Amino acid sequence: MTIDEIIDNFEFLDDWDDRYRYLIDLGRTLEPLPEAAHNDANKVRGCMSQVWLETKVEPGPAGEPVLHFLGDSDALIVRGLVALMLTLFSGRTAKEILAADAMALFKRLGFEQHLTPQRSNGLRSMVERIKKDAAQSLATA
């Protein structure tokens, strides 16, 4: 599923209970994160729930780093937010990741008004971690 399909599906749902159910369903589609990747190095700091992101970097066609992510959370809605993040960022070049405005997407989807402050902070922490990994991949390329 693409990010545009997720946005269309999300905007089609008027009721926030339905939108939360959709997020939970998205979380169920995540590729399983290996148990060994549930470690301190992959843990995202700043999230109230447990969140892990594993980053793999490979050279793209033009030699620019392309990042692939696997993720998981111990909370259902947050797991859905992880799925949304991975759809937005995984498989993209480091420059595309750094240029992406994830917070504008979250504002468009109404997360500012409908997520708790703790979940909003966790979402920002995930974005910061992904962008940090992208910046590091460029620095070492």
Residues annotated as catalytic are: 47
Element (H, E) at 28: helix 16-28
Structure token pair of residue 20:
């939360």
Under 8 Å between Cβ of 82 and 43:
no
47 vs 31: CA distance, rounded Å: 21
- Residues 80 and 24 sit within 8 Å (Cβ to Cβ): yes
CB 141 within 8 A of CB 58: no
